[in-house]
Amino acid sequence: MRSFRRRLIAGLLLVPLLTGCFASGDGGSPASGSSGSGEGSRLRVAMAFAPAENFSPYGRDAFLLAKLGVSEGLTRLDANGTVAPALAESWSSENGGRSWVFTLRDARFQDGGDVTAEAVATALTHAAAAEPTPSAISGVKLTAKVAGDGKVRVSTGEADPVLPLRLTNPSLAVFSPKAYDAKGAASPVGTATGPFELTKTTGDTAATLERFDDYWGGRAQAAGIDAKFVSDGTARANALRTGDVDIAETLPVAQVSSLDKGTAHKTNTARNTSLYLNTRSGVFTDARLRAAAREAIDASAVAEGVYEGYAEPAQGLYGPALTWAADKRTEPTGRAEAADPDGKSITIATFNDRPELPETAQVLQQQLEKAGFKVKLEVRTYARLEGDLLSAKFDAAVVSRNTMLDTGDPVTVLASDYTCGGSYNLSFLCDKNVDRLVAAAQAESDPAKRQDAALTGEAAILSTDAEIPLVHLKVVSGIGTSVRGALLDPFERQLIGTGTRR
């Protein structure tokens, strides 16, 4: 009974905290559905990306689980990108920052078990051993052990001043011991801790979620979620327009003018669209040809012609949503001189889950062909593209990437995307100077100095021309006028919360 009262009080206190961040519409109404029955209505949601790995919690599918309110970790990001409590109520560092002790709140798994220190340590140990390593801990030797009743000690090989930020990554979510099989694979079905329980999946086309009534943060106001995975952006917009769904994720800018008034919501994000050049194999191993590609590209044509004002030409890796970067950026130096492409043939890959990307690729194709390249395009859904993308099968790729998605730390994305051992290094860049500067940035504990070091790393990366930033994006979400409390998250980790309802 004492445990129940603690959960009830925690839920009552934390509902406003969890539903207020990024919320669209009125987030303060009573916890009943539109019918007034107290049971709530179900939410119908069209997601842009299908699960690529059968809802594995260790890859990009982890972000689907987080957006749908299924999973959570010890910490989370708030609206300002600051680390905030989740399954951990508090934390403190030890041993010069090589260890952190997290004090757990009273919470339960969706299979009925308690969230114990043993369970959390087991979950983090499985995540650290996953292949490939979750991007947030790429290059980090992470271990987790019980530190007493309701306490977990998480340690790293080297002092890590941003470990609590790393643990906000959805790939480091906590699951019940019943989730793991003998090989270490994890199933999120009925084993997570969030306000909604994943109960049924239909391949990569749909999923059914039910409200988890014993959620520590309070009972969700929607009875459940019926999610569809619809890669075609026009189809998502049409589903919202016809009332087939209540929420449609990431709508094409070309569809905004045709939507009902009040249903399109624009959010500034830390997301960029860039052209990544394969530095490991093929044409772009030559830095001079990478320079030729950079000089051929006019990013303003992408911003104006493709994104129709919902983006602006990129200034670097860190866009205007990150205000600290605006006045500190330095120009890249030491770039190679451009060589004549002389009819070199290249293949550019992209995915159509974000409908502006194929159109962007077509604009780049025209610009690069004008400069002397021969260009072929390869367009698939992301789920069908990712494996080849990470295996260096293409000369270049047009990809949309949120630089703060992994941890909210500007340095972590440099380590995962641009270093020799990076887990999401789409350019396959391996440069000793870049690795040295990123390692120096990782060692900085002061936030301002860490940002300065990140910008120094940015300049070094751009000097290699391994990535050509194109535009900084705004994301458009489609939300029916009857929906309240959807989470418009600039870090693109949340969408449905306890207060989301219709």
* pLDDT tens digits, 418-459: 999 998 999 999 999 999 999 999 888 888 899 999 999 999
- Rounded to the nearest integer, the mean pLDDT of the chain is 90
Between 16-20, 47-51, 152-156, the lowest mean confidence (pLDDT) is in: 16-20
Q: Mind listing the pLDDT tens digit for each residue in 329-343?
A: 888 999 999 999 999
Say what the pLDDT of residue 249 is: 95
Please compute the mean of the pLDDT values over residues 229-253 and round it to a whole number: 95
Number of other CB atoms surrounding residue 242 within 10 Å: 8
How would residue 62 be classed by pLDDT, with cut points 50, 70 and 90?
Answer: very high
Please compute the mean of the pLDDT values over residues 473-482 and round it to a whole number: 94
Give Cα separations from 441 to 24, 74, 83, 447 (angstroms): 36, 24, 19, 10
206 pLDDT more than 80: yes
Residue 171 main-chain phi, psi, to 5 deg: -70, -10
Please compute the mean of the pLDDT values over residues 181-187 and round it to a whole number: 87
What are the helix (H) ranges across 133-226?
163-166
Say what the pLDDT of residue 22 is: 55
Residue 157 main-chain phi, psi, to 5 deg: -60, -40
Domain locations in the chain as residue ranges:
1-50+194-263+480-502, 71-187, 268-475
Say what the pLDDT of residue 24 is: 63
Residue 434 to residue 415: CA distance in whole angstroms: 9
Say what the pLDDT of residue 15 is: 35
User: Is residue 164 reached through a cis peptide bond, with omega within 30 degrees of 0 on the bond before it?
Assistant: no
Asked if 1-50+194-263+480-502 and 71-187 have one fold, the answer is no
In CATH terms, is domain 1-50+194-263+480-502 a member of 3.30.160.250?
no
Say what the pLDDT of residue 443 is: 87
How would residue 222 be classed by pLDDT, with cut points 50, 70 and 90?
Answer: very high
What is the maximum alpha-carbon separation in the chain? 77
The fold adopted by the segment(s) 268-475 is Dipeptide-binding Protein; domain 3 (3.10.105)
Q: Which CATH number fits domain 71-187: 3.90.76.10, 3.90.78.10, 3.10.129.10, 3.40.50.12140?
A: 3.90.76.10
Residue 167 to residue 440: CA distance in whole angstroms: 21
7 pLDDT more than 60: no
Q: 121 with 146: CB under 8 angstroms?
A: yes
100 pLDDT more than 90: yes
How would residue 462 be classed by pLDDT, with cut points 50, 70 and 90?
Answer: very high
Say what the pLDDT of residue 405 is: 79
- How much of the chain, in percent, has pLDDT values that exceed 90? 73
61 pLDDT more than 60: yes
Q: Mind listing the pLDDT tens digit for each residue in 352-396?
A: 988 899 999 999 999 999 999 999 999 999 989 999 999 999 999
Q: 292 with 339: CB under 8 angstroms?
A: yes
How would residue 37 be classed by pLDDT, with cut points 50, 70 and 90?
Answer: very low
The torsion angle over the Cα atoms of residues 77, 138, 405 and 169, rounded to 10 degrees, is -40
> Please, what sign has the CA dihedral across residues 455, 456, 460, 463?
positive
| Alpha carbon distance, N-terminus to C-terminus of the chain | 33
Say what the pLDDT of residue 12 is: 37
Say what the pLDDT of residue 30 is: 30
